Structure 1
């Protein structure tokens, strides 16, 4: 998902992200405001992921979210 689409769907995705990654707080997600780089950083910080793993996790979940939106 490109950056513009990601940021445009942010409000819908934010609640879903709380389900995916319960360690992320509403305040952290609000500050990230759909910025994928900030979310990747949060995943690294909260879950101890490498950058590559954080990117993979984010991309995997975003792809699942896109699939659900198409239905």
Structure 2
């Protein structure tokens, strides 16, 4: 599955994203709107981790779908 599919079906993936990153708020998910770079930034902000770690987590999440 490519990221465009996730972006196109964001409303369906929001719950899965919320399970993976519980510190993300509903407002965060609205702002992210399926955009990978915004997801990365919000994960960094909420969890206080480096961009590389956030990217790794997103890659791991994406591969598990």
Please give the TM-score of this superposition, normalised by the length of structure 2.
Answer: 0.87
Q: Kindly name which structure, 1 or 2, has the bigger radius of gyration based on alpha carbons.
A: 1
Aligned residues: 65
Unaligned runs of 5+ in 2: none
Q: Deviations over 1:20-71 (max 9, x none)?
A: 1110001110111001100000010011111110001011011112xxxxxx
User: Residues of 1 paired with 2:21 and 2:4: CA distance?
Assistant: 22
Moved runs in structure 1, 4+ residues, more than 3 A? none
What does residue 55 of structure 1 align with? Answer: 55
Shift of 1:12: 1.8
Shift of 1:6: 2.7
How big is the alpha-carbon RMSD for the aligned residues of Structure 1 and Structure 2?
A: 1.3
Please give the TM-score of this superposition, normalised by the length of structure 1.
Answer: 0.81
Instruction: Show the 5 A alignment for 1:1-71.
Output: 2-65=2-65
Unaligned runs of 5+ in 1: 66-71
